[in-house]
């Protein structure tokens, strides 16, 4: 059974930093891309970042590029999101998602087949 368990969320002041973790089990972690998707309270879904199975390729939405860094440790079956220069608009539930990855001549394509329960990040003074 696929399990994804996020941790590391909480309250942080604007301009601060936080690192989210996602511990994965039930599948061969290194064989799959992974992603972070967030959901502001009462709002819709917003893709944040993705990473290939090897960790060699990373992708970011423009609204977090330069502030967030996605990484993974395949020896620990763990995905990370390092968040810095946090803003109030980054307040959201952050989900890690096992990613189905399809490659064609136009590039990589990600959709999300398993999601963690989510971790709330609140940016407020």
Partner 1 sequence: DIVMTQSPDSLAVSLGERATINCKSSQSVLYSSNNKNHLAWYQQKPGQPPKLLIYWASTRESGVPDRFSGSGSGTDFTLTISSLQAEDVAVYYCQQYYRTPYTFGQGTKLEIK
Q: Which of 2, 3, 57, 111 binds partner 1 (CB under 8 A)?
A: 111
Closest approach of partner 1 to the CB of residue 104, in Å: 6
In sequence order, the 6+-apart residues with CB closer than 8 A to the CB of 7 are 20, 21, 22, 23, 119
Residue 106 as a binder of partner 1 (CB under 8 A): the answer is yes
- Among 17-25, 74-82, 84-92, 107-115, the segment contacting partner 1 (CB under 8 A): 107-115
26: which DSSP letter? S
Q: Name 6's bridge partners.
A: 22
Closest approach of partner 1 to the CB of residue 120, in Å: 12
Confirm if 24 and 98 have CB atoms less than 8 A apart. Answer: yes
By rule CB under 8 A, what count of residues binds partner 1? 26
Binding to partner 1 (CB under 8 A): which residues in 20-49?
Answer: 37, 44-47
In sequence order, the 6+-apart residues with CB closer than 8 A to the CB of 48 are 35, 36, 37, 38, 60, 61, 64, 68, 81, 94
Q: Which residues bind partner 1 (CB under 8 A)?
A: 37, 44-47, 50, 59, 61-62, 95, 100, 102, 104-107, 109-118
């Amino acid at each position: 059974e696929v399990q994804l368990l996020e941790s590391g969320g909480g309250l942080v002041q604007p301009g601060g930093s936080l690192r989210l973790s996602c511990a994965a089990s039930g599948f061969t972690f290194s064989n799959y891309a992974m992603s972070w998707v967030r959901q502001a309270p009462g709002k819709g879904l917003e893709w944040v970042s993705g990473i290939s199975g090897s960790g060699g390729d990373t992708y970011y939405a423009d609204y977090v590029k330069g502030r967030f860094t996605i990484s993974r440790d395949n020896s620990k079956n763990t995905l990370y999101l390092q968040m810095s220069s946090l803003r109030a608009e980054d307040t959201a539930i952050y989900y890690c998602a096992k990613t189905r990855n399809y490659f064609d001549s136009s590039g990589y394509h990600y959709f999300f087949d398993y999601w963690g329960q989510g971790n709330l990040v609140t940016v407020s003074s």
